[in-house]
Amino acid sequence: MITKDPNEIKILRQGGKILATVLNMVASKVKPGVSAAELDELAETEIIKMGGKPSFKNYRSQVGDPAFPASLCVSRNNEVVHGVPGKDKILQDGDIVGLDLGVIYQGLYTDSAITVPVGNVSEKKLKLIEAAERSLEAGLSEVKPGKFTGDIGFAIESTTKKYNFQVVRELVGHGVGKAVHEEPEVPCFGKKGTGTKLVQGMVLAIEPMVNENGWKINFAPDNWTIVTEDGGWSAHREHTILVTEDGFEILT
């Protein structure tokens, strides 16, 4: 069981504030014609300016795997997460774009993502973004000591179902703080009262990935970008949160 001490929590709050500031700044630059590479450069520059380091750059899933080449994941439309922000990935009117960012501040990690519309976006795709937002809120409302990761997953999946969308099952939220990914896993589906019991001082990244059609996913040819199997679009929303004495605090 990994919990954070008061000093670590103080640092995570500061790092989370940097992340939130930079992610909002990057999101505000989203418009048709902007390249994913420009957003990535802005994110990296601003994180460093504020005293942090990007945690995704050169991240490897396992030793020997290829390193992630950027600071910001930019995942467009049918791309679910881990989108590589190339210069040739130009945002188009009507797209939705997921921006996922990780920060290291004084050695400690925070993680947050948001999906934003590009220009004029169809009603259905806006609903997808809304479903990701609302399902994260529903998951967060379950967070307090004594509850379980399964309670969070159940709430996320139930909310998504109301929209007739499906949550990704093969990727999960996670503990975070001393590394990009820590125990426990926080799935976006589950049974109430199952999984890991929440205790005060845990820091979790909770992150619904909501697909408009089926929940299945695949790797794109670049071996990083995760796409929906059926080509449907997907929206992602994530916060790093602290389990407090009687609930939660959003750190990002």
- Please tell me the distance from the alpha carbon of residue 160 to that of residue 137, in angstroms, as a whole number: 11
Q: For Mg ion, which stretch binds (CB under 5 A), given 142-150, 194-202, 203-211, 218-226? A: 203-211
Say if residues 102 and 110 touch (Cβ distance below 8 Å): yes
Q: Does 111 bind Mg ion (CB under 5 A)?
A: yes
Enumerate the known binding-site residues for a divalent metal cation.
Answer: 100, 111, 174, 207, 238
Q: Stretches 5-13, 59-67, 216-224, 231-239: which one binds Mg ion (CB under 5 A)? A: 231-239
Size of the site for Mg ion (CB under 5 A): 5
Q: Report the distance separating Cα 233 and Cα 252, nearest Å.
A: 25
Per CB under 5 A, 44 contacts Mg ion: no
Among 38, 40, 44, 100, binds Mg ion (CB under 5 A): 100
Q: Is 205 in the site for Mg ion (CB under 5 A)?
A: yes
Torsion of CA 85, 86, 88, 91, to 10 degrees: 10
**Which residues are annotated as part of the binding site?**
82, 100, 111, 174, 181, 207, 238
Residue 79 interacting with Mg ion (CB under 5 A) = no
Between residues 113 and 226, which has the closer beta carbon with respect to Mg ion?
113
* Residue 65 or 93 with smaller CB distance to Mg ion: 65
Closest CA to 147 of 10, 6, 215, 241: 241
Q: How far is the CB of 122 from Mg ion (least distance, A)?
A: 26
Q: Distance (Å, rounded) from C-alpha 96 to C-alpha 126?
A: 8
- We find the least distance from the C-beta atom of residue 135 to Mg ion, in angstroms, to be 15
39 closest CA partner among 160, 184, 31? 31
- φ, ψ for residue 44 (rounded to 5)? -65, -45
113 touching Mg ion, by CB under 5 A:
yes
Annotated binding-site members for substrate: 82, 181
Closer by beta carbon to Mg ion, 95 or else 100? 100
* C-alpha torsion sign, points 237, 242, 248, 252: negative
| C-alpha pair distances (Å), 157 with each of 97, 207, 212 | 22, 12, 13
x/- string (CB under 5 A) for Mg ion, residues 155-194?
----------------------------------------
3-state helix, strand, coil in the chain (%, to 5): 25, 25, 45
Binding site for Mg ion (CB under 5 A): 100, 111, 113, 205, 238
